[in-house]
Each structure stands twice: as C-alpha cells, then as structure tokens.
Amino acid sequence: MAKACEICGKGSMTGSNVSHSNKKTKRKWKGNIQKLRAMVDGKPTRVKVCTQCIRSGKIERAF
C-alpha cells in the first residue's frame, strides 16, 4: 500500500540524519496521509489524501 496522496502525489522523502560528529545515516520523512471518504464522480469513495489537500479544499468530503 503506497503512502502517497491521491490528489497531489505527495509521498515519502529521503534524506540524512546528521549527528554532532557530522556522521550521516539515511532516514525517511513520511507525508501526513489520511484515509477519508470523499465524493469521486458523484459517489462516496475512500481515498488517501494529505492534510494540505484537505485543508485547502481540493476534495469534497462525503459525510
């Protein structure tokens, strides 16, 4: 199951943990993806959407 937004495509980002001695190890940042019911083609459907898309009103919630 991919952890990515179905609207904007936001997913995981990779980078490095950097210690005080400047040693680097790989790490991952995960997007804040929520499962919710939204209206898709006039029908309520469960979708995975990031919180920025929810807050900006890019989807229509189905209650």
Give me the chain's average pLDDT, please: 94
Which of the four pLDDT bands, split at 50, 70 and 90, describes residue 63? confident
Does residue 14 surpass a pLDDT of 70? yes
Answer for the pair 49, 7: CB distance below 8 angstroms, yes or no: yes
Over residues 35-56, the mean pLDDT reads 95
Over residues 6-26, the mean pLDDT reads 97
Burial per residue of 26-61, b for 16 or more beta-carbon CB atoms within 10 angstroms, e otherwise: eeeeebebeeeebeeeeeeeebbbbeebbeeeebee
pTM: predicted TM-score of the whole model, two decimal places: 0.78
The CATH number corresponding to 1-11+27-63 among 3.30.1490, 1.20.950, 2.30.170, 2.60.40 equals 2.30.170
β-sheet bridge partners, residue 36: 47
Token pair recorded at residue 15:
């980078």
What pLDDT was estimated at residue 51?
Answer: 96
